[in-house]
Copies of this chain bind each other. A is one copy, B any other.
């Protein structure tokens, strides 16, 4: 890992725990093991570290969004009963909510949305707008598959989305992201799906 990467890594960990303002350049450098002036060789200023992180995150997200359609058409893996479960699992969890970099970025955004307009927008896009669209897409597929009517789907997606937000907040965005918490999250998601699917 280059020094620059190490700085970004340390900064992300600290920012996502204490918030951008509460972390000083000194803190970061102390942890990385460099002098403060060295940091300014790699980054223009403190803000630049944050910007580099969000830029990296944006790229990551774009990559994910780019692959969404392929995944959507993949056959379900074993243990996955319904259309779209694959996407939820692979995408929302493994490649996003559970993925270490993204997970920390989400925490960071959650904190900084109140201090930084650009981050607020990014947070809304990546945690609300984008997921909502994907979820809507899945529920529409389910509607087309006859699982329920299109009108039902429209309401269900909102319920689902709200519920996922709650679970995410509850299990994934505070304290360490342990294997156990991931599993509990996955289990609750699965149960919710079961409940919905059996309702009709």
Residue of A18, A110, A161, A166 ringed by the most chain B CB atoms within 10 A: A166
Q: Which residues of B are found within 8 Å of A18, using beta-carbon distances? A: 114-115
Question: A19 in the interface, Cβ–Cβ < 8 Å?
Answer: yes
Nearest Cβ distance between residue A17 and chain B, in whole angstroms? 8
Q: Which residues of B are found within 8 Å of A21, using beta-carbon distances? A: 19, 21-22
The 8 Å CB contact of A163, one of B19, B22, B111, B159, is: B159
Question: A149 in the interface, Cβ–Cβ < 8 Å?
Answer: no
Closest to A120 in B: B174
Q: How far is it, in angstroms, between the C-alpha of A163 and the C-alpha of B22 when the chains are bound?
A: 32
Q: Which residues of B are found within 8 Å of A158, using beta-carbon distances? A: 163
The 8 Å CB contact of A165, one of B19, B115, B166, is: B166
Contact A195 B155 (CB under 8 A): yes
